Amino acid sequence: MEQKTQYTALITGASRGIGRAAAEVFAAQGYSLILTCKNSMDSLRETARNLESQYGISCRAVRTDMGCEQDVEQLFTQISSLDVLVNNAGVAHIGLLTDMTPEQWHQIMAVNLDSCFYTCRLAVPLMLQKHRGHIINVSSVWGNQGASMEVAYSASKGGLNAFTKALAKELAPSNIQVNAIACGVIDTHMNSCLSPADLEALKNEIPADRLGTAKEAAELILQIAQAPPYMTGQIITMDGGWY
C-alpha cells in the first residue's frame, strides 16, 4: 500500500486496548478512520480528536453495539468506501459453564462472532468495488487451545478462526485478504479481572516473561494490512512463545 493516505480503515471496539492502539498506528500511516464502541463514547471521541489533530487524518467515532445487526447496518449507511476492516470488538466471561446463563452465552457469541458476520457481509461489497481489501479478525490463543472456565469465549474465538479461514478461501479470487491474530495474554482492560497473583502466575508460564502490549498487537495488525496479497487465511499467533 504505497499511497497510504487514500485508504480507510474501520476498527471496532476502539475506545481502549488493542482497538485504540490499532487506531493510532493506522493514523500514523495516514489512514482515514472509522472507530466504534458501545459504552465509552467520551473516550472514543477524545481518541478521534487527538488522532485528527496529531496526524491530520479524518477520524469518526460512532456508537455501535457490534453484536446488534441493526446497529451495524446503521453504521454502514455512513461508509461509502472501505479498505481495511479490523474486527476487534470482544467481551470475555470467566466461570463454570454450568453457572453460565443462556443470555450470557448469547452475548459472548453476539459480540465476538456474530459481529464479524454482520461487518463482513456489508464490508465485502465495498471491497469488491475496488477488487482489493483486508479483513483482520482479533482472535485468541484460546480459540486454538480452549481454556477451562472460558468455554464460551474459547468457542467464539475458535469459531472466528474457522470463519477467517473459510472466508479467506471465498474471497481470495477477488483479491480480498482475510487473516486473524491469535493473541496470548495482552496487558489490556479485558484482563483487569485477574488478581496480581494470577497475572504473576501467567507471566511465569510465558517464555517471554511478560504480558504482550496493545501496541505490539496493533503493529502486527498493521503489518498484516500491508502484507503481500498472497498471505490470506492465516491465524497468526502472538503470545510470547506461550503456546
Cite the active site residues: 153
Show the DSSP H helices in the chain as ranges. Answer: 17-28, 41-55, 69-76, 102-109, 115-128, 142-145, 151-171, 196-205, 214-225
Backbone φ and ψ of 142, nearest 5°: -70, -20
CB atoms within 10 A of CB 229: 11
Tell me the C-alpha distance between 132 and 2, whole Å.
14
Q: Is 138 helix (H, G, I), strand (E, B) or coil?
A: strand
Tell me the C-alpha distance between 94 and 148, whole Å.
9
The helix (run of H) or strand (run of E) holding residue 33 is strand 32-37
Tell me the C-alpha distance between 151 and 107, whole Å.
13
Show the DSSP H helices in 38-114 as ranges. Answer: 41-55, 69-76, 102-109
Give the HSE-up count for residue 110: Cα atoms under 13 Å, Cβ half-sphere.
15
What does the radius of gyration of the chain's CA atoms come to, in whole angstroms?
17
